[in-house]
Amino acid sequence: MVAEVIAIGSEMLFADRIDSNSLYTSAQLERFGISLIAKTVVGDDLTMIRKALALALTRADFIFLTGGLGPTEDDLTRQAVSEQLGLELVYHPEIVRQIESRFQSLGRSMPEINRRQGFILETAQALENSEGTAPGQYVQFEGRNIFLLPGPPRELQPMFQKYVIPLIEQLGLRPRSFRYFRIAGLPESRVDSLVAPIYRQYPDIQSTILASPGDIELFFFAENDARLAELAEKVTAELGDNIYATEEISLEAAIARLIKERGVTLSVAESCTGGMVGEWITRTPGSSEFFLGGVVAYSNSLKIDLLGVPPEMLRDQGAVSEEAAKAMADGARRRTGSSYALSITGVAGPGGGSESKPVGTVFIGCSHAGRTIAARFQFPGNREVVRLLSTRAALNLLRKELQMTNVEVRMTNEE
């Protein structure tokens, strides 16, 4: 089964617009093993919409037309589909009454033009829009399944869950089983070289890797759940504690959860990341429960004055050194009274590199009761990427320290 998305709206052709409906739709269809074979964006033009639909009808089992269902004369999707399929548009007064009551509930009266949204293709099923006025439509035509959906993602997405997925299931399609892994601390090439020998043994399982710097997602889809379970076990054994989650959760949110479980507090001491670690940690609502704050020690003077790093250490070992990273983490913990502290000092570039510490050299430290460690990293990429990789590596180091503590605690309890 294959699908095609046609996004409609002249504004979608502006230079900065991203067709997020296509991205959403293809991700949803993937679960059912339905592949997207084309996506097209056209303006509010009757002929363009008709031609795109005509082409899609020649090849796609599922066709999603998004946008162009509003009440104005620019909104031409209904008319284009009607003309292309040779199906009449029928006026449904009960749909208009729903739109009217939606306006009333907002304390407004319905403009006359919204009556246009009451026209539904003669053989189509209307799909209620809980977030807006434009109803969606579903029509089967010569073996094709055609959906007309509203353009705003916050309207389309609930409608997709409530109507489109059940309709796909009614056609006898079942969501495939899947397994999902999130991995930190390994580059994409390394993850792939570790797991490719495993998933190549399972040609019946579809594997996808999505990579952003320092954060990898692995998806496995299959009909057969037992086979998936077998593969997942091998992947888990191979990647070990580089897997930080088996659900859709960001690294910073996973760490926030872990910190709350442990009941500890955190501070940071950042140099080359300039505040990025703190910014990421505080993305999670409620982070004030455990995050105290910290010091952005961009200059050496602040490393000395606010973190207590010895000036002679900066002179002898340099600000980018294992010793400085440890001293920064210890200093942050001492100055803030947190139970854990993270530190980062490195050369983000483009300037500042040397032969022994080229651009991309970053030391990351972590301090907690009785233990201070620092690790050296050599990251590839430009300034932006080095800072991003540094932040994710710091969060990942903290995760491993927190998890190790847990192991120790459990071991102690078992003794």
Closest by alpha carbon to 30, among 233, 228, 208, 229?
208
Q: Which one of 20-28, 109-117, 184-192, 199-207 is the stretch in contact with a copy of itself (CB under 8 A)? A: 20-28
Q: How many residues does the chain have?
A: 415
C-beta of 22: minimal distance to a copy of itself in Å? 8
Using CB under 8 A as the binding rule, whether residue 354 contacts a copy of itself is answered as no
C-beta of 337: minimal distance to a copy of itself in Å? 7
C-beta of 274: minimal distance to a copy of itself in Å? 3
Measured CA to CA in angstroms, residue 45 lies from 8, 13, 19, 68, 87 at distances of 9, 12, 18, 10, 19
Q: How many Cβ atoms are within 10 Å of 200's Cβ, its own excluded?
A: 10
Closest by alpha carbon to 248, among 179, 188, 170, 337?
179
Using CB under 8 A as the binding rule, whether residue 124 contacts a copy of itself is answered as no
Please give the structure tokens belonging to residue 188: 């994409």
Using CB under 8 A as the binding rule, whether residue 310 contacts a copy of itself is answered as no
350 preceded by a cis bond (ω within 30 of 0): yes
Binding-residue total with a copy of itself (CB under 8 A): 72
Using CB under 8 A as the binding rule, whether residue 250 contacts a copy of itself is answered as no
For 284-306, b/e burial (b = at least 16 CB within 10 A) is beebeebbbbbbbbeebeebbeb
Residue 231: burial class (beta carbons within 10 Å; 0-12, 13-18, 19+): buried
Give whichever of 137 and 271 is closer to a copy of itself, judged by the CB atom: 271
Using CB under 8 A as the binding rule, whether residue 97 contacts a copy of itself is answered as no
Contact with a copy of itself (CB under 8 A) among 287, 343, 345, 367:
287
Please give the structure tokens belonging to residue 139: 């029509």
Closest by alpha carbon to 342, among 270, 276, 406, 257?
270
Residues 37-66 that bind a copy of itself (CB under 8 A): 37-43, 45, 48, 51-52, 55, 58-59
Residues 329-348 that bind a copy of itself (CB under 8 A): 335-337, 348
Using CB under 8 A as the binding rule, whether residue 133 contacts a copy of itself is answered as no
User: What is d(CA 171, CA 328) in angstroms, rounded to the nearest whole number?
Assistant: 61
Q: Where are the beta strands (DSSP E) in 299-394?
A: 340-346, 361-368, 371-378
Contact with a copy of itself (CB under 8 A) among 33, 153, 293, 308:
293
DSSP state letter for 63: E
Residues 259-278 that bind a copy of itself (CB under 8 A): 268, 270-278
Using CB under 8 A as the binding rule, whether residue 13 contacts a copy of itself is answered as yes
Give whichever of 163 and 280 is closer to a copy of itself, judged by the CB atom: 280
C-beta of 289: minimal distance to a copy of itself in Å? 10
Give whichever of 15 and 411 is closer to a copy of itself, judged by the CB atom: 15
Contact with a copy of itself (CB under 8 A) among 124, 126, 231, 306:
306
Residues 167-226 that bind a copy of itself (CB under 8 A): 208, 210
Contact with a copy of itself (CB under 8 A) among 35, 140, 161, 201:
35
